[in-house]
Structure 1
Amino acid sequence: MNANFPVQTPKKILVADDNPDVIETIFQYFSDAHQPYELLNACNGAIAYQIAQEELPDLIIMDWEMPIMSGLEVIGHLKKLEETRHIPIIIATGVQTGDRNLEEALEGGAVDYIRKPFGRLELLARSKSAMRMAALHQKEKMLMQSVIDAQNRELSTIALQVAQKNELLEGIVKKLQPIAVKNTVVRTYLKDIQSGLNLDNQWEKFKLHFEKVHPQFFVRLQQKYPALTPNELKMCAYMKMNLSIKETMQILNISKKGLETARYRIKKKLALTPKEDLHKLIHQF
């Protein structure tokens, strides 16, 4: 095979319908297409939900009314999961399905709907359009995330530089304090250095930069968890930036044990169980 023509990975499509004839027809339509597809099927909503989580298809074509779990219920469950919420879903409906029901499906997370009986060209066109739009959305999301990651790295560099500067100045202050008792010039310099160590002022400046990258982070977090202290909010911000344990310890000037204790207290205030991921929750804000 020519190395210039890489093998195309077949798009994975899940068809969920309690009517085997409908599934067979849809499978035939895709089998006749001029590109390969990996086709999966489910005869009820519960099985569709399970397969979607296991296989992560590129597209789901879902019947509106199915046993055990309706199409709308499946959409609701899938949109709650981080790993499946991006999957485009087309609702396949009967002619008796009202406009209000279709509107409900679209509001719930379906990207399109198609009325039965449908033809091959319509199904393939709508399916390709849904997968193309989903792929574009994923690329846009990845690009946005790469920008945020770069901005987070810049923020962490600023925070680390401030921490290193403070550590240096604190060392100078300790050395100058005995001399400053008898020397007014040194005492004046010491006051200037101590004013440069105004941590509250430094945090406010950093916070301005942080909120340009993560707007409303502190507002949303404090609205939901008003018991968080200023220091705990700082730690949440550093988690949002994906700082390592070592970097966080350096910036906050605390030990690993101190960091673990602080995170444990935050988890308690956020009502998380020991097994629940604190970072995952913070990244939702």
Structure 2
Amino acid sequence: MSLPFLPTLDHPGRILVVDDQRDNLRVLTLELKRQPFALTCVETAAEALAFCEREAFKGILLDVSLPEMDGIEVCRHLRQKGLNTHTPVIFLSAMRVGEGWVTQGLEAGGMDYLTKPYSFPELLAKLRMMVRLSRQNEALMAHERQQALIEVAGGAAHALAQPLAAAQILADQLAKQNAPASQEQLDQLGAFLQQTAQILRQIQNLHTYVTKPYADGHILDLAQSSRPETAQDASRS
């Protein structure tokens, strides 16, 4: 029986591999052909950033020595721009441990590193670890979001009950009185209905938040949840 959150052939972990050496990508693809991973292989930093803007990965294997923008800067850019924010990143480099790139990479938001040539069992273990950590984080975020949704839903129900009750009382009074409704009474009724409509819009936004979790699932912001959908939001849903 497999451990929870680990990738399986039926439920593979999606990995982005970034390396400017096409032969390295070809070898890696062959090595992992029968392993529980779905690889997306790119050769440039620009391609990596473009994929991360529209797709979510369970792990990123990122070569340090890339043309135009090195892997450390790519990782820093991902973290700063909120692209695959919580996706674990492991750096690849032919340089030996002890060089400054290790510290720089970890400070940029990387999780670990591999030096070339690496052993296949070590690579496999690190890829499995990335997928497992990513899925554990997603499960935790989903639990936190569920708790927040329960609290907000309860608050919305309580807030909705107040103007509805007031509107019902006023409507009963209007039904029993012989004189036509005064302007003050009509204004009060309109205010109660306006409050009710506002809370209903918040509940609709809450539904949007459930189906399209913005803000990385941590903060329930009803105003934020009603903003237009972006390409990255669509990739998360």
How does the TM-score come out when normalised to structure 1?
0.54
| Partner amino acid, structure 2, of 1:21 | D
Report the aligned-residue RMSD.
3.7
Q: Distance in 2 between matches of 1:130 and 1:109?
A: 14
Tell me which residue corresponds to 1:49.
49
The SS at the match of 1:51 is helix
Greater displacement, 100-109 / 8-17: 100-109
Moved over 6 A (4+): 171-175
- The structure, 1 or 2, with the larger RCO (C-alpha pairs under 8 Å, 6+ apart) is 2
Aligned residues: 187
From 188, 196, 203, the equivalent of 1:243 is: 203
1:148 match? 148
- Structure 2 matches for 1:171-190, cutoff 5 A? none
Task: Report SS of the residue matched to 1:56.
Answer: coil
Find out whether 1:122 has 2:122 as its counterpart. yes
Identify unmatched segments of 5+ residues in structure 2: 1-7, 176-197, 206-221, 228-237
The residue that corresponds to 2:20 in the other structure is 18
* CA-CA distance at 1:86 after TM superposition: 2.9
3-state SS of 1:113 partner: strand
Q: CA deviation at 1:157?
A: 0.8
Check conservation: 2:44, 2:66, Cα contact below 8 A.
Answer: yes
- Find the counterpart in structure 1 of residue 29 from structure 2: 27
Tell me by how many angstroms 1:98 deviates. Answer: 4.8
Give the one of 199, 210, 224 matched to 1:279: 224
Which of structures 1 and 2 has the bigger CA Rg?
A: 1
Contact 1:90 1:111 in 2 (8 A): yes
CA distance in 1, matches of 2:65, 2:148: 41
TM-score, scaled relative to structure 2: 0.64
Identity fraction in percent: 22
Taking structure 1 as reference, are residues 281 and 174 closer, same or farther at Cα in structure 2, changes over 3 Å only? closer
Deviation at 1:147, TM superposition (A): 1.0
Which ranges of structure 1 fall in alignment gaps of 5 or more residues? 1-5, 176-234, 246-276
